């Protein structure tokens, strides 16, 4: 459907069968080990029927509304995923700090240089967890704007604590933190995804600046 004011086609959301003629995909080699694969998709004169459109075909923005409806749950789940990763890294680091001893009987966790970064991660993790739980509660209550506000902030906080926690966990393990045996080095790269997708930190800051603080649009 064309935009009456510009004459250009409006964005549309549609489903493409993977066996459709002209559809292709190519695996993107990733730097971290993950069970799922990433792909580049190719659409070369692919034709689909009108029934492939998602949303109300008679609405100007039917597909866009369907897309926007998934943004808040996606960001809430992204925040929860990042917090789960952070909690796993913290648990591994705390367990190691309690049992590892160097040159003395007391474990390395008895040193403030080890204990304080772990305590800081715990505090930041709880802050991020409360944000995504509030976002989820607002979403369940039907408050779309409130859910969007807190889903964005939760996504930001989750991405930050995932990166911070995995970094501290690796540092707590010392050289062991980069070995395959302890399973933390791969998380350094995986945690970084939380700062990029499904929305970048910069776009979250734009949202909060505009819609929460009422500042002028900056992009």
CATH code: domain of residue 132: 1.20.140.10
Q: How confident is the model at residue 32 (pLDDT cuts 50, 70, 90)?
A: confident
95 with 170, same domain: the answer is: yes
pTM for the predicted model, two decimal places: 0.88
Quote the pLDDT of residue 19. Answer: 94
pLDDT tens-digit readout, 114-170: 999 999 999 999 999 999 999 999 999 999 999 999 999 999 999 999 999 999 999
Cα–Cα distance measured from residue 111 to residue 115, given in angstroms and rounded to the nearest whole number: 6
Specify if 165 maps to a domain. yes
- Contact 89/187 with Cβ under 8 angstroms? yes
Quote the pLDDT of residue 149. Answer: 96
Specify if 219 maps to a domain. no
Which structure tokens are listed for 78?
A: 């992204």
Specify if 218 maps to a domain. no
65 with 115, same domain: the answer is: no
65 with 75, same domain: the answer is: no
pLDDT tens-digit readout, 75-84: 999 999 999 9
Specify if 179 maps to a domain. yes
Percent of the chain with pLDDT over 70: 95
165 with 59, same domain: the answer is: no
Q: Which of 53, 69, 85 lies at the terminal end of a domain, its last residue?
A: 69
151 with 196, same domain: the answer is: yes
SS3 31: coil
65 with 77, same domain: the answer is: no
Does position 57 have pLDDT exceeding 90, yes or no? no
Q: b/e per residue, 136-149, with b = 16+ CB within 10 A?
A: bebbeeeeeebbbb
| Residue 179 backbone dihedrals phi, psi, to 5 degrees | -90, 155
Q: How confident is the model at residue 2 (pLDDT cuts 50, 70, 90)?
A: low
Give the structural domain span for 15: 1-69
Give me the number of domains the chain comprises.
2
SS3 11: coil
Q: How confident is the model at residue 58 (pLDDT cuts 50, 70, 90)?
A: low
Q: Which of 21, 39, 69 lies at the terminal end of a domain, its last residue?
A: 69
SS3 101: strand
Specify if 50 maps to a domain. yes
Q: Between helices 112-140 and 144-173, what is the axis angle to 10°? A: 160
Helices then strands (H, E): number in the chain?
Answer: 6, 2
Question: Which stretch of DSSP H or E encloses residue 168?
Answer: helix 144-173
Quote the pLDDT of residue 150. Answer: 97
pLDDT tens-digit readout, 60-72: 666 677 777 889 9
Does position 179 have pLDDT exceeding 90, yes or no? yes
Does position 213 have pLDDT exceeding 90, yes or no? yes
């Amino acid at each position: 459907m064309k935009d009456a004011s510009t004459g250009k086609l409006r964005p549309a959301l549609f489903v493409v069968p993977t066996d459709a003629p002209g559809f292709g995909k190519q695996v993107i080699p990733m730097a971290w080990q993950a069970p799922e694969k990433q792909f580049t998709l190719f659409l070369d004169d692919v034709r689909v029927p009108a029934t492939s459109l998602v949303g109300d075909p008679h609405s100007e923005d039917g597909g866009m509304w369907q897309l926007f409806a998934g943004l808040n749950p996606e960001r809430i789940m992204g925040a929860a995923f990042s917090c789960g990763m952070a909690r796993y890294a913290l648990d591994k680091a705390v367990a190691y700090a309690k049992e590892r001893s160097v040159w003395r009987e007391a474990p390395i966790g008895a040193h403030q240089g080890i204990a304080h970064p772990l305590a800081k991660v715990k505090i930041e993790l709880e802050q991020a967890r409360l944000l995504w739980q509030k976002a989820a509660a607002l979403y369940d209550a039907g408050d779309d704007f409130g859910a969007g506000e807190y889903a964005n902030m939760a996504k930001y906080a989750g991405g930050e604590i995932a990166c911070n926690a995995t970094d501290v966990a690796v540092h707590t393990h010392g050289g062991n933190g980069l070995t395959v045996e302890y399973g933390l080095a791969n998380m350094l790269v995986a945690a970084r995804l939380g700062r990029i997708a499904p929305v970048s930190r910069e776009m979250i800051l734009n949202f909060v600046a505009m819609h929460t603080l009422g500042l002028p649009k900056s992009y």
